[in-house]
Amino acid sequence: MNDDMIDKKAREVFDMVAQRATDDDMRRLRDAFSLAREAHASQFRKGGDPYILHPIAVAAIVAGTLCLDVNSVIAAFLHDVVEDTPVTIGEIRDRFGDDVAAIVSVVTKPQKDHYDATKQVDNYRQMLASLKDDVRPILVKLADRLHNMRTLADMRPDKQMKIAGETDYLYAPLATRLGLYDIKTELENLSFRFRCPHEFEEITSLIQRDRDAQRIRLDRFNDQLREVLKNAGIKATVFTEYRRPYSVWRKMHKYGDDFNHLKYRHFTEIIFPSREPVVSDKEMALRVYSALTDRFKEKPGGISNYIDSPKENGYQSFHVKLLPDFGRWQEVHIASDKMYHDSALGCVANRNEQWLEKFREVLRDIPEAGRDGSAFIADVVASFYNDDIMTFTSAGTPVVLPQRSTVLDFAYEVDEALGSHAKYARINGFLSSIKAPLRRGDVVEVFTDEKVSPSADWLNAVTTYKARKAVSDYLVSQPRPRYDRCHHCLPIPGEEVIGFFNHKGDITLHKRDCPTAVSMASQFGDSIVSVDYEPDQTLYPVTIEVTAVDRFHLFIDLVDTISNTLNLAIDTITTTTTDSIVKCRISFGIHSFGELQTIIHHIALIDGVDEVKRLV
């Protein structure tokens, strides 16, 4: 590519910025391009193009797609010079000021002799930490990643997988949380294309085939919509938009459907000109909705009102499902041109930043948690989610959560103490477990008990970073058990036990008749240690099996003995009866072997009981 073409592409960037820049801004912008061009003069991309084309492309995304300020565009031109050339941050600061230097510093991968985690993780930490003060460095980094993904075909397959993988795992979800719908969509589809090329091509082909097959009736439906709106005196643009391959793939996996049975592969957009403050966008959307439902049947329960209840990244629209003449429900999105524009620009657009501040709070907390690299990334990604649901307290306060959240997530989002002592809940008035999943619009009441505290199984029932951190912190704060128990014989205090030191210096306890202990004693006799295994406040889960002759009131007598006479809380109880012989399995927690013997003795005295034994 010759110099004239490079100059032409650079001028296109200058033209994008010129209308919102001063003469001095333009001088600095041209100076930044000249510095980048000189610094990268001897470098080429993997595909053979001059390297300077990459900074120009990134600057074009920052200036044109994201419409950022001049300093961000300058930083885009210079984003690789410190990492790949002799130019220093100090030189950039001297020529372009502290603001530009700060942005370039964030997007420059750290070069260290020793990384806190790995080079990649430290780079993520540096990038995400900047969001506490300024969103622009992350936006420049997303523009850099977007152009790298557009040119990924020039890389080796192993590099393609690495870059596509981290794009799908971190950068596309990050764009989602920042409300950058167009960038998010392109990133995740480019990633899908390089990670799973055969699936990508297959779904792309299926979409095109469906587009061709449905074109006539969808065009007719759109024409009918336009006619309805025209008759109602409403100006609007109407068009059909097919979901992109990655979105289709994700929905296929979510619902377990193949392509042909997947609902809502496409949707219809109705975009009307915003007339605020004369008429609110909400009122106009409702006028459109009213006109459409006078002509078409509306699916019961098919409304999603994202105008009154925006998604957490700021997305607003009014969704409704209508039944056209060809007899299949069609999803229709109604929005103003401002809403449609903002859904593409997200945090760059003028909107409420409450959701962004919430994400900043998470990022402020994560580095202080002392987690390792993989845990750090997992914590961050937990705060990125593709879609959210709005739930409500009984007082009507909205609580926004990721899809697949549970009552526990809800409780911790409202208040940490509410989550830590949650015992049961009511969802829309119905009694529910604290692990029950929530759906959009659920009204949730959480009931507590001071005796309740988090347990390890809660980690499998929470989704949000806030809930996971609270549960993990509580579990870590608890005294570590003095011993590890053999997973086969599961000894309890008061039983005859023997201990073995392992290579870490920890002691594992076994019952003396445990086959594993017998085998280890013959091989590692020097690691045997005597142990006083005394009971404490720890509850050990056990299951007993009761065999009895069936009779009236037998079950009540069993429960009464365990709950009232022995004051034990039953975890589970199951019974089967075959030819008047009852087998009853009861699970509960005990402190010691002596306590278990007392329980077995009391149950054995119940009329009709033939045998009581512990199951291991």
Residues involved in catalysis? 83-84
83, 121, 377, 444, 453 from 409: Cα distances, Å: 41, 27, 20, 11, 15
- Closest C-alpha among 343, 348, 286, 331 to residue 140: 348
96 exposure class (CB count in 10 Å sphere: 0-12, 13-18, 19+):
buried
* The two structure tokens encoding residue 174: 């990050």
Report the first-to-last Cα separation within the chain, whole angstroms.
74
| Torsions phi, psi for 434 (to 5 deg) | -70, -10
CA–CA separation, 361 vs 278, rounded Å? Answer: 37
- Closest C-alpha among 433, 478, 176, 202 to residue 311: 176
H-assigned helices in 366-464: 373-382, 407-414, 416-420
**Could you say which DSSP state residue 114 is in?**
S
Long-range contacts of 172-177 (CB under 8 A, 24+ apart): 173/381, 173/384, 173/385, 173/386, 174/138, 174/142, 174/384, 175/142, 175/346, 176/313, 176/384, 176/385, 176/386, 177/312, 177/313, 177/355, 177/359, 177/383, 177/384, 177/385
Task: Provide CB contacts within 8 A for 263, sequence distance 6+.
Answer: 255, 257, 329
Is residue 561 classed as helix, strand or coil in its secondary structure?
Answer: helix
CA–CA separation, 505 vs 361, rounded Å? Answer: 40
350 exposure class (CB count in 10 Å sphere: 0-12, 13-18, 19+):
exposed
Beta bridge partners of 426: 431, 445
Q: Which amino acid is at 114?
A: H
- Closest C-alpha among 453, 456, 521 to residue 486: 521
Task: Provide CB contacts within 8 A for 575, sequence distance 6+.
Answer: 555, 582, 583, 584, 585
* The two structure tokens encoding residue 318: 């009014």
